[in-house]
Structure 1
């Protein structure tokens, strides 16, 4: 079967765009082929700094012929309908159509459309230019004199050549005949810009890969990553050092070179007085180099690994020296920042936070610190943190934002604050809170463990969420510019992994919104004892309506919790079933309910009880709709006791199970509540087997429906079973 080879060679493609671009190229070409009926055996895309390449294997040389029968209007239909049918079917007159007879609807026109299979080469020549012209680069540019013309090509960097060949392995492939913006597809490419600048003629994929290797280009990005990683490890080992591995940096560096050459440079050991995080950030961010550790130690070594794109005649001495000069200058700056920052206590920096705008509608960082401190101050009881330490940590948490070091390396925020706090003698818990309050910043990042750090981290994230909810800047679809989903997931992980039981809607979320509302607190008014009793003790400026933002934000937490639990293997419908119960705002207890419910439903008792519940719920729904009333009262125990044995047994079992399940839930023993419900399985099965619900006696029928409602009510002690699938 013939293969397609496509290469789009350009000026340097930014490393961060390469992998996505290769995948987009594969997807666009293969989707277009499949849409036209051309199936293939396999496809793989590649990217280097100067090229995107695609290999599609196993394409047919010609598409299959298509025969389609298209039914038209009824014989005798209006002329407009007939003309529309002829145009859509590609016919010039009804003489080219047939008539068919439908036994029920009469005679209809039928067009038989036959299209011969097209040559794959012609199809490729048609679709490839359109894909190239409309390629979805995040950022693109025009260049040269042609850029002034409407519709000129936009590409990430100037496109220089196109290779496009198609044909079987046993024959010489043909060039796909097309051109884009004056660049005609051909068989000529170029290797490494400096090591092998001569033109290379290629025909098929295997030849292409080998020719590039000879021209000092490794096409596969993953292979370049392996070369860099293994050579760096070997070079470090040979010097008695360990490589500090960095997957993100490795991905980036592999996108900067076509022929990686690993070298080692060094710097003055005196710079090791700078915090390791700052050294690593300096060398990583500015020079794209890897730092090294002393073998078997966490201490950094005065050396680094750099990756060159050249095989130098001097073995890389000049390249290494150049990098060392830049690293020395950068570390000198970092040392100056470090020394300067240490001379100024964190507390004296706090006034400067009033000049830093957090968000135009949410005030400054200084105002935000005050909100975080007020919110964190209300959490120590639930978390077990020292209130004075929480106050201190909250006040200093953002102080390092105005330090020289964080100004130069924003990714060190928190880390540098913790270092400066330790140097000025702050309590270890305060230092931990300053360093960890941004965590977790991703699904694999660790969560804070110190109680003071937990309080400040929760306050920081919940203030962010409440703030953007207050100004109606919530995530929509795939857009989340303020990383609010990440903040909510951070709250969830901190609460669950530290096993903190805290009611969000009762205290935490209203407290957070109160900070954004100038201290005004919305409340729910209980009118059960009359209007006068409800209002007599309220302050005159109290808001008298429940805050809808709390419920909306709680639903957002529910959605994030579903994602979190689904990743852990839990069922989303069980999360819905628990959240459907009133007052479910304690994430830890919700998860414990879900876990107990899932274990219960995995047993035979659980599966059968769920089936019995659904049968009961269906009967109730039908009968309540027919009777125009709800069967939500308590059943008559005496009437049930005088009924059928299975009826009496169910009534007794429901009374016992309901009481036991309610007590178990009250003491947060959800497994015990499930065990109580499991006792209902046999009575429910017997009831449906032996008892006719719609009895002729109206009183007996009503009571039996009330028994089914009692079953519905008993299961609601642990979850809303109507939300459970299956």
Structure 2
């Protein structure tokens, strides 16, 4: 058995750039994992993924030309079935052996495992290790089958008859084990050692690879291709910084990881150049110019030290001519009409006020079951007005912002760039003479748009953003449009997290159930009541968020199982639970709480609530009643003032009387009056212990 490094490359037509990174990682990972599973590569083999616009490749260290043979022990059948009374093999045993490639001579070597009726016949044999060509063929087919292909296309092979389905037409296959070819084939291609370099920059049109280890170096020197996605990306980052430094003035390219990945997937050997456009375009909101340069041209706009857009941008070219003026000039000519369109849209949009566009929302369908955008705006206004009244926020400003927040959907700029909705509404509101508070609220009412995004800047914006998200959540749940699996077309998970963040981070005293009920009111009979399912949905999102923040599943479960209505209390409740869990009495009290809960669950009908002191017969139950009378006022006072830690810590004094109660007292006494009284005592104990959190959830 000989170990050498392995290289596999599939050469194809241009791969979808937004998917290239995932395609490269999947191709390398699945192929390497398959080789390891077959015993051709060790668990610690180093796997290097390569992905460029026209190739997927993987390099795996120390791959064997043949996997080691493996001893295997196969269970055949019970001894009583395989051997007759004289110890000779039965027909069933001989048939089983024949199916495994053995004959009667193997009977003498069979092992017996177990005893008595459970005794079983076992056949020990050696499973030959798989040859590299066979194993690699299997691994490559598995890697291609599991590629996360966005969209499959069909194409014909050179014979003119055979149709192949793949992400893009494939034109070459390389498989080298050291310097040796591995005989495999896929997609109508037979493996060789030749690959193709850069379309325009390669020193040779065809690169003949010496061995597996020379792949990256030969492609770079002979083919003018940086095959590694990570290396190419790092090179682009380095060049972006260098070109920005050459421009001077402390300018920096805009940070955009998705754009960086996409550009890395578009070039094989990056060459970053500086372009420029006319300063007059800077009168257009910079968000418009930045978006058109990024989305349409894949340029990196340059921002000054204050974060303002400059009239220079960076181009990531795929060629490196001696005279770059033609490349730069061509890109400047291409971007100019894009910027001119943005300026035209901006100038035209400002000729009509947001107010004048309001009636047009009645003609825009929001959802076939929920009506138009105009009807939706009225619902958002109603919800926002109710929230503003609760919080004491300027009702007139809230109503104006809620009424006009969606009007920018009818502008040319948002029609061209939907990503700018809200942002353009803010600009046009200021142009219309609306106050900054309202304009900012219009811009911010979509926030937070994504995880980690900032919240609305002012209270008016928070109210309108809450109303907007609640209207979506209540409406979609009310017509049964719930997220399923990975599908969430209305971004309900994001909306729920946005509501949670605003309630908590802005410390809003708004009970969740009341908020959901008020949000449902403007819908009338248009929806069915789904407040319970929606509340569960919100708490589920909150639970996930809290676990990501470092709280344990037990802590989160203990607090959220009580469905606290004021989400602003949750951080204090969690801190109190964590402090309580550190007490020496915590484990015993949590276990006792769980026991009490189980007892109360078995009671049919309403739980007894009145404890009659005259019926307390045992000293242990009298002691518990007395302890509750002493501790409950302290715990209640701390709870009412929001001192949840003190409320829970007061319970520590209950450990001794609770333990004594369960040791000495029979709860389910035969006497009905005694039994009911003791159940009422436990019910009082249970209510006191679980006001802050369900302590039974802390019990292991």
Q: TM-score, normalised by structure 1?
A: 0.86
Q: Distance in 1 between matches of 2:607 and 2:99?
A: 58
CA-atom RMSD in angstroms: 3.1
Confirm whether residue 467 of structure 1 aligns to residue 469 of structure 2. Answer: no
Confirm whether residue 63 of structure 1 aligns to residue 42 of structure 2. Answer: no
Match of 1:674 among 621, 637, 648: 648
CA offsets per residue over residues 433-480 of structure 1, 9 Å max, x none? 110111111112111131111111111111111121122111112222
Aligned pairs for 1:452-601 within 5 A: 452-506=460-514, 508-518=515-525, 549-581=530-562, 584-601=564-581
Aligned residue in 1 for 2:664: 692
Aligned residue in 2 for 1:421: 429
Match of 1:253 among 246, 252, 263: 263
Residue pair 2:80, 2:117 contacting (<8 A) in 1 also: no
Q: CA deviation at 1:255?
A: 1.3
Residue pair 1:500, 1:588 contacting (<8 A) in 2 also: yes
1:47 counterpart SS class:
strand
Residue pair 1:448, 1:457 contacting (<8 A) in 2 also: yes
Q: Distance in 2 between matches of 1:121 and 1:409?
A: 51
Confirm whether residue 719 of structure 1 aligns to residue 693 of structure 2. Answer: yes
Structure 1 alignment gaps of length 5 or more = 168-172, 521-546
Q: CA deviation at 1:518?
A: 4.1
Q: Distance in 2 between matches of 1:629 and 1:409?
A: 60
For residues 423 and 619 of structure 1, do their structure 2 counterparts lie closer, same or farther at Cα, with a shift above 3 Å needed?
closer
Match of 2:589 among 596, 601, 612: 612
Residue pair 1:449, 1:498 contacting (<8 A) in 2 also: no
Q: Distance in 2 between matches of 1:440 and 1:615?
A: 43
Aligned residue in 2 for 1:329: 337
2:259 counterpart SS class:
helix
Residue pair 1:661, 1:717 contacting (<8 A) in 2 also: no
Aligned residue in 1 for 2:51: 47
Aligned residue in 2 for 1:263: 273
For residues 390 and 631 of structure 1, do their structure 2 counterparts lie closer, same or farther at Cα, with a shift above 3 Å needed?
closer
Q: Distance in 2 between matches of 1:358 and 1:695?
A: 59
Q: CA deviation at 1:107?
A: 5.0
Q: Distance in 2 between matches of 1:718 and 1:398?
A: 41
Aligned residue in 2 for 1:541: none
Q: TM-score, normalised by structure 2?
A: 0.89
For residues 216 and 666 of structure 1, do their structure 2 counterparts lie closer, same or farther at Cα, with a shift above 3 Å needed?
same
Residue pair 2:30, 2:142 contacting (<8 A) in 1 also: no
For residues 619 and 424 of structure 1, do their structure 2 counterparts lie closer, same or farther at Cα, with a shift above 3 Å needed?
closer
Aligned residue in 2 for 1:128: 140
Q: CA deviation at 1:313?
A: 2.6
Stretch deviating more after TM superposition (96-105 or 324-333): 96-105
Q: Distance in 2 between matches of 1:87 and 1:27?
A: 39
Aligned pairs for 1:445-456 within 5 A: 445-456=453-464
Confirm whether residue 161 of structure 1 aligns to residue 167 of structure 2. Answer: no
CA offsets per residue over residues 39-91 of structure 1, 9 Å max, x none? 33222312111111112223344323222222333345499976885577455
Match of 2:198 among 181, 192, 196: 192
CA offsets per residue over residues 408-434 of structure 1, 9 Å max, x none? 111111111000101111122211111
Aligned residue in 2 for 1:305: 314
Aligned residues: 682
For residues 677 and 470 of structure 1, do their structure 2 counterparts lie closer, same or farther at Cα, with a shift above 3 Å needed?
same
For residues 82 and 655 of structure 1, do their structure 2 counterparts lie closer, same or farther at Cα, with a shift above 3 Å needed?
farther
Runs ≥4 in structure 1, deviation > 6 angstroms? 78-81, 622-625, 627-631, 695-701, 703-706
